[in-house]
Amino acid sequence: MTTVPVLRASLKHNAPGTTRERALWAGGARVVVGTDEVGRGAWAGPITVGVAVIPRHRRVYKIRDSKMLTEAEREAMFDRIAEWCDAWAVGHASHAECDELGMSAAQRLAARRAFDGLGMTPDAVLADGSWDFIGSPRTTTIVGGDSSCLSIAAASILAKVTRDRIMRAEASHYPHYWFESNKGYPGPRHRAALHWYGPSAIHRRSWVFMDGLSWGGVGRYRRPDPQGTLFDSDGG
């Protein structure tokens, strides 16, 4: 097993807890699933949803919100979390599905695929954020859940590392966009590459970054959008 680095001082007092899970367990829920998404704001690659069922009586320390950890720290934690969970899974919706369906529907699709891969029927779901992208009466949304709720934090690392690995693999096919470092997210160098080379085969072509590119080989993909102004700003 990979050795996990010593926690930086800034992270030592930011540990997510199990208050939410313990309340649900005490209320009779046997399978409590934490879930989080990654990639919603990217310009390229999939949107990814992670789901995690943590054990009641064993703990893995040093889990934090994936955004608080460095890439090396997340990678070091990945196998430890995967082995510790009673069950976990990751689901994706592709860049093309993000374009065709819109981000809300694509996120629901990725979540459905993650839950299909879990192998357990949830009694309760804890989801990061204010929107129930699971669409279940058993879901509780928690703003800031990835930093306060242990099962959500575990799901956030599993999702983030899995998607980052996908984008690093794609970087070898599309070297001009630096996917190995930006993972498909916006940035000045990424924008400059789009102006010079245009979008790659894995860019989301309905995004607003497509408007006004110096490279004019392909226009922005537009479709009748029941989600209103979803594509009117960078990041979906």
- Please report which confidence band the pLDDT of residue 230 belongs to, taking 50, 70 and 90 as the band edges: very low
> Please, where are the H alpha helices in 70-225?
71-84, 95-101, 103-116, 145-148, 150-171, 179-182, 188-197
Q: What are phi and psi for residue 198, nearest 5 degrees? A: 80, 180
Contact 15, 153 (CB under 8 A): no
Question: What are the chain's domains?
Answer: 9-170 (3.30.420.10)
Beta carbons of 162 and 47 less than 8 angstroms apart: no
Asked whether residue 15 carries a pLDDT value surpassing 60, the answer given is yes
Q: Kindly report, residue by residue over 114-170, the tens digit of the pLDDT.
A: 999 999 999 999 999 999 999 889 999 999 999 999 999 999 999 999 999 999 999
CA distances from 235 to 67, 143, 148, 152 (A): 17, 20, 25, 22
Comparing CA positions, the residue from 172, 37, 161, 154 lying closest to residue 92 is: 37
In the structure, what pLDDT confidence band is assigned to residue 232 with cuts at 50, 70 and 90? very low
Token duo for residue 135: 């669409």
Say whether pLDDT at 179 is over 70: yes
Q: How far is CA 28 from CA 110, 120, 122, 139, in A?
A: 28, 16, 12, 15
Q: What is the pTM of this model?
A: 0.88
